[in-house]
Every structure is written in structure tokens, then in C-alpha cells.
């Protein structure tokens, strides 16, 4: 092969060698190893060969997210057209949902969110890798995919960019980068958006494409367009409009995901499949998922019980959400999405097995509790997970200390039989040894 | 500077950067979080602390040989409390709105660790002129951080500086708001101040690695 007809791989390789030891080296290394297998081999010592590296782990999670992303692109269009024309009478998936019109809305609204999330996030990762002189880490690959799925569809791109900068720098890089962060970066981004721009994150105008734009035009005096809106199931319940909600969305709608909400949080069925995929590929912890589901069911049952006892009546502001069937909490809002993809983050979650049960249970428990009692916004999954992220090291600490104590006690109570010089067994208490 | 020897100059300049009471000694954080949502409040707080600390240091320094060491904390508290009450009354008389914004935080200057810290560490062992310079220096170091934090929080959180709408009118959508810009509600709440102070500490330490503690 002549020099002029180098392959892309060869060019990257030459570039990489050219920059070896220089400031920009991590950036070129990252591009090279992202696209191709590295050409370096270890020459000495024994080493474990395993395909199960960080990149593979991240890619598995992304694979579990792709169906959700594709569904959310169709749903973006479906919610938009349904808000304009009303929900179709005899709904058929092929005719009303999987259409090019729907997908086109997804392309123009969801793809830009994805591009901004990855573009800005990876840029920050590259900058920090170059400044700190380490290799670019894969940590952002999953975060970048999660972020567009957990924000409302009409989130302005510049807001998302600022939130991503904040989330990656303050949520991750200040702690030392991938693997060192206390808080889940995707949820840090979501929380930043929620506190910084609350009007873009709540209400009935943000979940459907164009709803906010139309409301603004009408406020300015436009008369040739109709106002559209799409309230989430939880929004309806928080306002005590549960009966009205029942006429619009059936439980199956909630399960399949044909409801308004953050871009990718609605398709409970696909999230369930993704969760099973992650459990069977041993990427995510089934203990966290199961205990979080149990936690939310327990809290839901408590609320249902309170309503059944008649302690909360119809004129209470909490009646709508408290009387919501306990198991339906899993079908609406971000609970399923949060449990499967974010509570199971191996970096920010609990590490010990018993710790995972406690951690997951409290996530489910508090998600439903915050959801019901949050006065401004009927959702709390991201707050619950962030809170438990903070407590995860404490939980692990006490689990480990408890284990040490238990074993120490077992050891000091044990009786051992060392042989003396004549070969006879002698009884000794361990503490005296 | 002919007026000040090199040693005296350092008394003023050191707390501004390498020995800053907020970013290096991490004292006085409480008020830095509470009142920095507006630049104006930050400036008034900085001036108030400068008055209390400068004058208090002189008073303590003058009395340093007659204060029995067993009750010196009580004496120091009385001096600070007297000065803080003067500040509080002046604010109430001439800037009532502002004193409402600052609310209890003027009174809480009494418990500001920087003030008691300087009394204990400096004024009890040095003459009045040097104590005065030390008080001014430390309160400048405190004030400068307050003003930086207040600047960013007011600019990003409310789009104003000292109450002037520098970024345009958010309701009539003029200036920057015409392009779709929105105020950042996060900057209004106190946790934002913690993060801004944290970023200042981060920048300062990466510029001067000698400040980073070993552990």
C-alpha cells in the first residue's frame, strides 16, 4: 500500500503515535480506541483476558436503551398529533403510532437533544482528559444517552447544554472523573434543569411538542391556531382530576407508554425488557431493581390503606395521588425508568448485597412518597435516587462494619484445638491465642 | 507605599489571596451563602464586616494588656456586639429596605468566625495600628469573595446588577431575553453560593498548588 492510500485506521494510528507524550494525546487515543481495537499488547507478566471491560459494559446499557429511544421518537409525534386532533378512536399501532409523520417529529425534536447531550458532554470529557493528562473515560457514553430521555421534549437546547456542562463538571469531574462521582451525572443534570428552569420542566405545556410555543403565540394574539396541551397522568392526579384522566388514558396505555411525559420515561414495557436484558447480561443488579419495586409497592399500599381507612378524604390535596392504585405507580412517571437505568448505576449505588436491598427499597419507597407530597411537581424519582446516592456509602459502611463485628464475635467465641508437643489436642479459647 | 512597611502591606494583601478567610481558612461561610443572592447586599455586608472587624481589632488591641485571659471571650463578644448594634441601627435608620433583606444576618456578624478568629489570633498579640490593618485586610478578603459570588448570583439568577437590568427585561423580552435566554432559578437559592464558592476555591488552588493540603 502506498503512502497516499492509507486506511483510516492507519491514519489514526500514525496520528496517535505522532501525538504520543504530548498534551493532546488522550484525545487521539480516545478516538482511536473508540473506533478500533488498540494495537498495543502487553509484553510481560500474566494478565486476564476479558472482553467484559468498561466499554462493553457501557455499550450493553446503551443497547438496552435503544428500543426506548426509538419508541420515544414515535411517541413524540404521537403525542403532538393526538394533542391537535384528539386521540384516535380505534387505535392501531401501525396506523396511528409507527408512522413517518410521528417519526419525523422524533427526528427534529429528540435527535437534537441527543446530539447536544453527547456533543457537549464528550467535549467536556475531552477537555478534562487533556488538562489532567489521563485517557478519556467512557463514563459519559451512558449518561449522554440517558439525558435526552429524562427531559421534557421542548427543553431548549442551550439549557440542556448548560445543564450538561454543570452535571459533568460539578457532578463528576470535581470528584475525579468516571468512577469517583457521588451523584449520578444524568440525574444531576436533570436536577439542575429542574431547579434552574422550573417553568420549562413542569406544567401541562412542556410534555408535548409545540404546546408551549402555541400558548405563547396565542398570548401574543394569534387566532389561527388552537392551544394544545398534554398533562401527565401524575399531573392529572395531583390536581384531583383522576376521573378525567381515566377517560383519556387506559392502564394499557400507561403500560405500553402511549402517554405524555419526559421523552423516554413512558414505555414501561420496553423498560421492563431493557431491565431483563441488563439483569441477564449481569450488568445491572437485580437486587436493586427488585427491592426498589417492592419499596414503591409498599409505600403505595400504605397510601392506599390511609385512603381506605378514610383518614384522607376527597377534599385533601393529596387524595388524587394517594388513592391511585399502588401498582400503577410503577407504570407512570419516571419510576420504572429510574429504577432500571439509574438506581442500578454501579458507581453511585450501594456495593454490598445487603446494602443494595436497603438502597433499592428506600429509592422505591421515597420516590412514591416525594411524588405524592411534592407540592410543586408530582414526581420525585430523580430526587429520591440522588438522595440515596448520597447515603449509599453510609449504608455500605455499616453493612461492612456489621459483618466485621459479627465475624469477630464468631472468632472470639470459637474453640480451637491446637496440638501440643506430644500430639494431644488441647482446648483453647480463640481470644487467648 | 511610604505609609506602610512591607510587613504591614502584607497584613492587607495576604488575606486577599493566599490566606483568604473564606476560600483558604473556610470561615464565615454561613453569611456568604445566605446574603449573596444580590450584589448590593453583599457589598453592604462586606462594608459592615469591615467596620466591625477594623474597629473591633483596634479596641481589643488597646485593651489587650488589661483583659484577664479567663474572661477574654466574653470581653470580645461585648465589643463585637456593641459594634454590630451600631451597624444594625445605622442600617435601620438610613437603609431600611436593605436591612430587611439582610434581616438577622447583620446580627449574626457577632457569630462570624472571622471576627473572633482575628481577635484571638492577632489583636490580642499586636499593637493597634497593625491590628487595624489586619482587620481591614481580612474583611477585604472576606468582602471580595462575597462580591464575586454576589456578582455571579445576581447576574445569572436575576439578570440584574445592583438592581439594574443589565441583560434586558425578562417580561417585555428585550435585550438578551429576546433570544430565548432565561434567568437561572438555581442561582437564587443558597446551595448555588456553595457551588460558586467551591468553584472559586477550585480555581485558586489549581492556580497555586502550594495551597493544596497533603493528606
Percent of chain A with pLDDT over 90: 35
- Inter-chain CB proximity A170 and B202 less than 8 Å: no
A386 contacts in chain B (CB < 8 Å): none
Residues 6+ apart with CB under 8 A from A123: none
Please name the residue that has the C-alpha cell 384531583.
A240
Q: How far away is chain B from the Cα of A197, in angstroms, using its nearest Cα?
A: 6
Could you tell me the three cell numbers for A294?
Answer: 417492592
Residue B142: name the closest of B119, B120, B109, B187 by CA.
B109
User: Left, alpha or beta for A332 (phi > 0: left; psi -120 to 50: alpha)?
Assistant: beta
Q: How far apart are CA A347 and CA A58, in angstroms?
A: 12
ipTM of this complex prediction, to 2 decimal places? 0.85
- Inter-chain CB proximity A192 and B186 less than 8 Å: yes
Residue A101: name the closest of A124, A73, A70 by CA.
A73
> Is the CB of residue A159 less than 8 Å from the CB of residue A193?
yes
Could you tell me the three cell numbers for A397?
Answer: 459502611
Listed in sequence order, the DSSP H helices in A45-197 are 54-85, 100-132, 140-149, 157-171, 185-196
What confidence score (pLDDT) does residue A432 get? 47
Residues 6+ apart with CB under 8 A from B118: B53, B57, B134, B135, B138
> Is B10 in a helix, a strand, or coil?
helix
Choose among B185, B187, B198: nearest Cβ to A198. B185
Q: How far apart are CA A119 and CA A114, in angstroms?
A: 8
* Average pLDDT of the segment spanning A265-286: 92
Write out the DSSP string of B171-202.
TTT-GGGGGT----GGGGSHHHHHHHHHHHHH
Helix (H) / strand (E) element for A329: namely none
What confidence score (pLDDT) does residue A111 get? 93
- Inter-chain CB proximity A158 and B186 less than 8 Å: no
- Inter-chain CB proximity B184 and A158 less than 8 Å: no
Q: How far away is chain A from the Cα of B181, in angstroms, using its nearest Cα?
A: 9
* Average pLDDT of the segment spanning A168-174: 89
Q: How far away is chain A from the Cα of B184, in angstroms, using its nearest Cα?
A: 5
Residue A360: name the closest of A248, A275, A245, A251 by CA.
A275
A37 pLDDT band, cuts 50/70/90, is low
Q: Report angle CA A222, A225, A228 to the nearest 5 degrees.
A: 115
Residues 6+ apart with CB under 8 A from A293: A330, A339, A364
- Inter-chain CB proximity A192 and B202 less than 8 Å: no
Domain ranges of chain B: 24-205
> Is the CB of residue A348 less than 8 Å from the CB of residue A181?
yes
- Give residue-wise pLDDT tens across range A312-350: 777 777 888 888 888 888 998 889 999 999 999 888 999
> Is the pLDDT confidence value at A433 over 70?
no
- Give residue-wise pLDDT tens across range B52-76: 999 999 999 999 889 888 998 899 9
A198 at B interface, C-beta within 8 A: yes
- Inter-chain CB proximity B184 and A196 less than 8 Å: yes
> Is the pLDDT confidence value at A100 over 90?
no
- Give residue-wise pLDDT tens across range B15-35: 887 888 888 888 888 888 888
Q: How far is the CA of A279 from the CAs of A59, A66, A143, A283, B60, in angstroms?
A: 14, 16, 19, 6, 68
B186 at A interface, C-beta within 8 A: yes
The chain A residue lying nearest B157, using CA atoms, is A196
| Structure-model confidence comparison of residues A58 and A427, the more confident one | A58
* First vs last C-alpha separation in chain A: 74
pTM: 0.85
> Is the CB of residue A254 less than 8 Å from the CB of residue A331?
yes
A21 pLDDT band, cuts 50/70/90, is confident
> Is the CB of residue B41 less than 8 Å from the CB of residue B149?
no
Strongest mean pLDDT among A126-135, B1-10, B167-176, B182-191: B182-191
> Is the pLDDT confidence value at A218 over 90?
no
Q: How far apart are CA A137 and CA A122, in angstroms?
A: 9
> Is the pLDDT confidence value at A126 over 70?
yes
> Is the pLDDT confidence value at A431 over 60?
no
Q: How many interface pairs between A and B have CB atoms less than 8 angstroms apart?
A: 22
Least confident of A263-267, A429-433, B99-103: A429-433
Percent of chain A with pLDDT over 70: 92
> Is the pLDDT confidence value at A423 over 70?
no
> Is the pLDDT confidence value at A259 over 70?
yes
What confidence score (pLDDT) does residue A430 get? 57
φ, ψ dihedrals at A382, nearest 5°: -65, -35
A199 contacts in chain B (CB < 8 Å): 182
- Inter-chain CB proximity B186 and A196 less than 8 Å: yes
Q: Which residues of B79-112 are buried (b: 16+ CB within 10 A; e: fewer)?
A: bbeebbeebbeebeeeeeebbeebeebbeebbeb
The mean of the pLDDT values for chain B is 86
Amino acid at each position: 500500500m502506498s503512502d497516499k492510500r492509507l486506511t483510516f485506521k492507519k491514519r489514526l494510528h500514525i496520528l496517535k503515535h505522532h501525538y504520543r507524550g504530548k498534551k493532546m494525546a488522550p484525545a487521539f487515543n480516545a478516538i482511536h480506541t473508540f473506533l478500533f481495537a488498540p494495537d498495543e499488547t502487553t509484553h510481560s507478566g500474566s494478565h486476564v483476558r476479558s472482553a467484559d471491560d468498561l466499554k462493553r459494559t457501557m455499550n450493553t446499557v446503551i443497547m438496552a436503551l435503544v428500543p426506548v429511544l426509538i419508541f420515544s421518537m414515535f411517541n413524540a409525534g404521537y403525542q403532538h398529533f393526538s394533542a391537535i386532533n384528539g386521540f384516535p378512536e380505534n387505535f392501531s399501532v401501525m396506523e396511528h403510532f409507527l408512522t413517518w409523520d410521528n417519526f419525523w417529529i422524533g427526528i427534529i425534536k429528540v435527535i437534537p437533544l441527543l446530539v447536544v447531550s453527547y456533543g457537549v458532554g464528550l467535549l467536556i470529557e475531552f477537555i478534562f482528559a487533556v488538562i489532567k493528562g489521563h485517557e478519556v473515560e467512557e463514563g459519559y457514553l451512558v449518561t449522554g444517552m440517558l439525558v435526552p430521555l429524562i427531559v421534557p421534549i421542548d427543553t431548549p437546547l442551550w439549557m440542556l447544554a448548560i445543564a450538561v456542562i454543570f452535571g459533568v463538571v460539578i457532578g463528576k469531574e470535581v470528584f475525579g472523573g468516571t468512577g469517583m462521582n457521588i451523584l449520578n451525572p444524568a440525574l444531576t443534570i436533570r436536577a439542575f434543569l429542574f431547579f434552574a428552569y422550573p417553568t420549562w420542566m413542569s406544567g401541562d405545556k412542556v410534555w408535548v411538542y409545540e404546546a408551549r410555543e402555541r400558548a405563547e403565540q396565542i398570548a401574543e394574539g394569534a387566532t389561527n391556531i388552537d392551544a394544545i396541551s398534554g398533562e401527565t397522568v401524575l399531573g392529572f392526579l395531583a390536581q384531583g382530576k383522576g376521573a378525567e384522566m381515566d377517560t383519556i388514558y387506559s392502564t394499557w396505555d400507561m403500560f405500553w407508554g402511549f402517554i405524555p411525559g419526559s421523552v423516554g420515561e413512558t414505555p414501561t414495557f420496553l423498560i421492563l425488557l431493557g431491565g431483563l436484558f441488563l439483569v441477564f447480561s449481569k450488568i445491572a443488579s437485580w437486587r436493586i431493581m427488585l427491592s426498589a419495586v417492592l419499596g414503591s409497592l409498599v409505600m403505595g399500599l400504605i397510601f392506599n390503606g390511609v385512603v381506605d381507612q378514610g383518614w384522607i378524604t376527597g377534599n385533601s390535596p393529596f387524595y388524587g395521588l394517594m388513592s391511585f392504585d399502588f401498582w400503577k405507580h410503577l407504570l407512570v412517571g419516571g419510576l420504572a425508568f429510574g429504577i432500571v437505568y439509574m438506581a442500578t448505576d454501579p458507581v453511585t449505588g450501594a456495593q454490598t448485597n445487603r446494602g443494595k436491598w436497603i438502597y433499592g427499597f428506600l429509592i422505591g419507597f421515597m420516590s412514591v412518597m416525594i411524588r405524592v407530597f411534592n407540592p410543586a411537581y408530582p414526581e420525585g424519582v430523580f430526587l429520591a435516587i440522588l438522595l440515596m446516592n448520597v447515603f449509599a456509602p453510609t449504608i455500605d459502611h455499616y453493612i461492612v462494619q456489621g459483618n466485621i463485628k459479627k465475624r469477630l464475635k464468631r472468632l472470639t467465641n470459637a474453640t480451637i484445638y491446637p496440638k501440643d508437643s506430644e500430639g494431644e489436642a488441647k482446648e483453647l479459647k480463640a481470644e487467648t491465642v | 507605599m511610604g505609609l506602610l512597611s512591607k510587613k504591614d502591606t502584607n497584613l492587607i494583601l495576604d488575606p486577599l489571596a493566599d490566606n483568604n478567610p473564606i476560600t483558604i481558612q473556610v470561615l464565615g461561610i454561613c453569611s456568604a451563602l445566605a446574603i449573596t443572592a444580590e450584589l448590593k447586599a453583599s457589598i453592604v455586608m462586606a462594608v459592615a464586616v469591615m467596620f466591625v472587624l477594623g474597629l473591633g481589632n483596634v479596641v481589643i488591641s488597646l485593651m489587650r494588656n488589661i483583659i484577664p485571659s479567663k474572661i477574654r471571650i466574653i470581653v470580645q463578644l461585648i465589643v463585637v456586639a456593641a459594634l454590630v448594634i451600631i451597624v444594625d441601627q445605622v442600617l435601620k435608620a438610613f437603609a431600611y429596605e436593605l436591612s430587611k433583606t439582610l434581616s438577622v444576618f447583620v446580627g449574626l456578624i457577632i457569630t462570624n468566625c472571622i471576627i473572633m478568629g482575628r481577635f484571638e489570633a492577632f489583636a490580642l498579640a499586636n499593637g493597634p495600628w497593625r491590628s487595624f490593618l489586619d482587620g481591614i485586610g481580612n474583611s477585604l478578603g472576606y468582602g471580595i469573595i462575597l462580591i464575586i459570588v454576589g456578582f455571579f448570583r445576581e447576574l445569572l439568577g436575576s439578570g440584574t446588577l445592583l438592581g439594574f437590568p443589565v441583560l434586558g427585561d425578562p417580561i417585555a423580552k428585550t435585550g438578551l431575553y429576546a433570544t430565548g435566554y432565561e434567568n437561572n432559578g438555581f442561582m437564587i437559592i443558597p446551595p448555588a453560593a456553595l457551588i460558586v464558592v467551591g468553584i472559586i476555591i477550585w480555581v485558586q488552588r489549581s492556580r497555586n498548588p502550594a495551597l493544596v493540603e497533603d493528606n
